[in-house]
C-alpha cells in the first residue's frame, strides 16, 4: 500500500501534480477552445488504496499519462466526476454511457 505522499510524487513525475489543478482560469473558454475534448472538472482519481488525486483533467490530453502511471504502479486507476460517477478506467477505458460518445483518433480520445 502506497501512502498519499508517494502517489503525489508519482503523479507529479508524470506531469499531473496533486491538488486542485485548474486547466484553465475560465472553464467555459477552455471548453469552447477544446470542443471535442473529454474534460472532467473537479475529478477524483482512485486506486485500490482509495482517493489518490484531485483536480481538473482533460482526458483527451492525459488518458495516456494515467495509463502509464497505472502500468508503473501495476494497478487500475479510475477517474470519477464530482458526482462520483466513474468516467474512465485504465483497465476498461470509458465506462457506461460515456463509452458510446467517445472515439479514439490517433491515440487520443475525443467526444463525438
- Lowest mean per-residue pLDDT among 34-38, 68-72, 75-79, 104-108: 104-108
- 20-10-49-107 Cα dihedral, nearest 10 degrees: 80
- pLDDT tens string 60-92: 999 999 999 999 999 999 999 988 889 999 998
Is the CB of residue 53 less than 8 Å from the CB of residue 12?
no
3-state secondary structure at position 52: strand
Assess whether pLDDT exceeds 60 at residue 20: no
Facing residues of 55 across strands?
21, 43
Q: Model's pTM, two decimal places?
A: 0.86
- Residue 107: how many CB atoms within 10 A of its CB? 7
Instruction: Examine the pLDDT at 57 and tell me if it is beyond 70.
Output: yes
Domains of the chain, by residue range, sit at: 4-111
- Taking alpha carbons only, the member of 65, 68, 92, 64 closest to residue 78 is 92
H/E element, 8: helix 4-13
Amino acid at each position: 500500500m502506497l501512502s498519499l505522499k508517494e502517489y503525489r510524487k508519482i503523479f507529479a513525475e508524470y506531469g499531473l501534480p496533486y491538488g486542485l489543478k485548474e486547466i484553465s482560469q475560465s472553464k467555459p473558454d477552455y471548453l469552447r477552445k477544446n470542443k471535442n475534448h473529454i474534460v472532467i472538472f473537479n475529478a477524483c482519481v482512485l486506486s485500490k488504496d482509495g482517493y489518490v488525486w484531485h483536480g481538473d483533467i482533460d482526458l483527451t490530453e492525459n488518458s495516456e499519462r494515467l495509463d502509464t502511471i497505472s502500468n508503473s504502479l501495476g494497478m487500475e486507476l479510475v477517474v470519477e466526476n464530482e458526482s462520483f460517477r466513474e468516467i474512465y478506467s485504465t483497465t476498461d477505458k470509458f465506462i457506461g454511457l460515456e463509452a458510446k460518445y467517445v472515439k479514439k483518433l490517433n491515440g487520443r480520445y475525443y467526444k463525438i
